[in-house]
Structures are given as structure tokens and as C-alpha cells.
Amino acid sequence: MAKGRELKGRIKSVENTRKITRTMEMVATSKMKRAQDRVVAARPYARALADVIASLYAPELAERFPLLRQPAQEARAAVVLLTSNRGLAGAFNANLIKEARALLARLEAAGTAVELHVVGKKGAGYFRYVGRAMQTERADITDRPTAADAASLVDGLMTRFVDGALDAVYVVGSRFNSVLSTPPTAERVLPVQPPAGAAGTKDYLLFPSAEAILTELLPSYVRNAVYRALVETAAAEQAARRTAMKSATDNAGEMLTLLRRTYNRARQAQITQEIAEIVGGASALQG
């Protein structure tokens, strides 16, 4: 019955694995719900900022604000890649890295000098493996990002953009459309692109002035764009992990069914053999 004992051991191992993946699926589902709430909460503020900037924007004002400067050519650019610190999320990180590689290749083919900033151990590990230099790499941003995290990522890049050391800043992350739709995206956050409808379509009482308001709003707009990328990527990570763990749990269940069926057949075959031996022995004694 060595085969039977081996099958029982495999059944026990798969049962334990299924318990783990099931637990991880439940944890990811809970985290995804909280992350999704942060995504929903961030969007109205982003729309309000865009509406105000669109209403205040005018070409003559744009000339006085460095964050609105539209370079004729992108000679120098920064790419910020958002990945996770942990795996077990299917192709989530691989898709983000692929999107970043495509953007890097596109920019460099156009003659742009690109520096890479990576958030997350998975992205940093990949580019370290392939030998791509990284300007910065961070693993201190958790799956519950804050506005302070966004500011720490982009404030230095904003300063360099204002000083003329950079012509563009891109952020590569995931867009959380739904649990099953979290495509990787590359968004240019600098220079600030005047929002659609930027022509003073709404009337505001401005105090102290449009210039003073834009001075405060434009950096907030850029930080909010990075914050939204962080929270949407965090939600997408949990959605990917939930899907991966659910698939692993389902696969473990199918494997258990097959192993138990195989074990029962082996057990039945052994019982049949034992009965046949008993009957054969009894017949021999009678003969």
C-alpha cells in the first residue's frame, strides 16, 4: 500500500496549500475593497482640480508658469515605474515592467535621455537583473499609499522640471477600471497639459488672483496625478492577487478531486486483490 500512502501524503499537502491560497484570496479581497474605496475617493478631487485649472487657464498665464511649459523637444525625461513589493499576483508586475520597457524604448528611439525611477521590489529587482541603471529605487511605499508618498516621489522631479533639468515626467502604473480590468498605463504628468475645455468656461470670484491660485493648484494637480496612480496601482495589485489566489484555490480543488479518485481506485484495487488472494488460498486448502 506504498502507493496509497504516497497519495494520502499528496492529498494532505494539496489540502494545506488550498487552505493557504484560500486565506490569501480572502485577505486580498479585503485589501482590494479598501484600496478601491481610496480610488473612488481620489477621483472627485482630481476632477475638481482639473475643472478649476481649466477655468483659470489662458495662454498668457501659461507663459508665466514653468509647470505649464511645453518643450518643443523632450531632450531629458524621467520615467517613474510603480510595481509591488510582493509577488503572487499573476502577471501584474510583468505587465507593468513590459509597459515601462516599451515607453523607455519609445523615448530613447526619439533621442530622449531617460532616467528611471522605480517603486517596488519587483520592478527594481528586474531592472537590476537586466543591468539597467536606476536613478532611484524605493520599497518603502506600502499598499496603502498616502498623499505624502506621492509628494515624496514627484516634488524633486517638479523642481528639476522648473529648473529646466527635465522636459517631461511619465508615470507607469495600472488603471483600476474594475476587478477584471486593470490595464498598465503610461501617463505624462509633467508638463501639465491644460485640461480639456480650458478656456474659462466657468465664472469664479478669484482671490487673491488667478496667478496666485495657479501657483498653489498646479503642484497640487501634479501630486494628485501621482497619488491617483499610486492608489489605482495598489487596488490593481490586490485585484490581481485575488484573481491569482482564486485560480490557485480552484486548481487545488480540481487536483484534490483527481487525487482522491485515484486513491479510491487504488484502495479498491488493493481490496479486490486481497479478496482474490483469500479466495485463492481457501480454494487451495479445500483442494
Per-residue confidence of the chain (287 residues) as pLDDT tens digits?
Answer: 457 778 888 888 888 988 999 999 999 999 998 998 999 888 888 888 888 777 777 777 667 888 888 888 899 999 999 999 998 898 999 999 999 999 999 999 999 999 999 999 999 999 999 999 999 999 999 989 999 999 999 999 999 999 999 999 999 999 999 888 899 999 999 998 876 654 445 555 555 666 777 778 899 999 999 999 999 999 999 999 999 999 899 898 888 888 888 878 877 777 777 677 676 666 666 65
What does the alpha-carbon distance between residue 250 and residue 162 come to, in Å, rounded to a whole number?
52
Locate CATH 1.10.287.80 in the chain: 2-22+247-286
* β-strand pairing of 168-174 with 184-190: antiparallel
What does the alpha-carbon distance between residue 68 and residue 217 come to, in Å, rounded to a whole number?
12
Nearest to 242 by CA among 18, 39, 19, 30: 30
In the chain the first and final C-alpha atoms are separated, in Å, by 30
Helix (H, G, I), strand (E, B) or coil at 71: coil
* β-strand pairing of 136-138 with 184-190: unpaired
Cell numbers 524633486: residue:
156
What does the alpha-carbon distance between residue 286 and residue 21 come to, in Å, rounded to a whole number?
58
Q: How does pLDDT run across 45-69, given as a tens digit for each residue?
A: 888 888 877 777 777 766 788 888 8
Bridge partners for 114 per DSSP: 77
Q: What is the pTM of this model?
A: 0.83
Q: What angle do CA 211, 213, 215 make, to 5 degrees?
A: 70
What does the alpha-carbon distance between residue 119 and residue 50 come to, in Å, rounded to a whole number?
26
Locate CATH 3.40.1380.10 in the chain: 25-242
pLDDT of residue 241: 92
Sign of CA dihedral 11, 13, 17, 20: positive
pLDDT of residue 214: 78
CATH number for the domain running over 25-242: 3.40.1380.10
Rg (CA), the chain: 29
* Rounded alpha-carbon distances, angstroms, from residue 159 to 154, 165, 190, 233: 9, 9, 11, 25
pLDDT of residue 230: 96
pLDDT of residue 208: 64
CA dihedral 55, 47, 233, 162 (to 10 degrees): 20
What does the alpha-carbon distance between residue 75 and residue 77 come to, in Å, rounded to a whole number?
7
Helix (H, G, I), strand (E, B) or coil at 84: coil
Domain 2-22+247-286 indexed as CATH 3.40.50.300: no
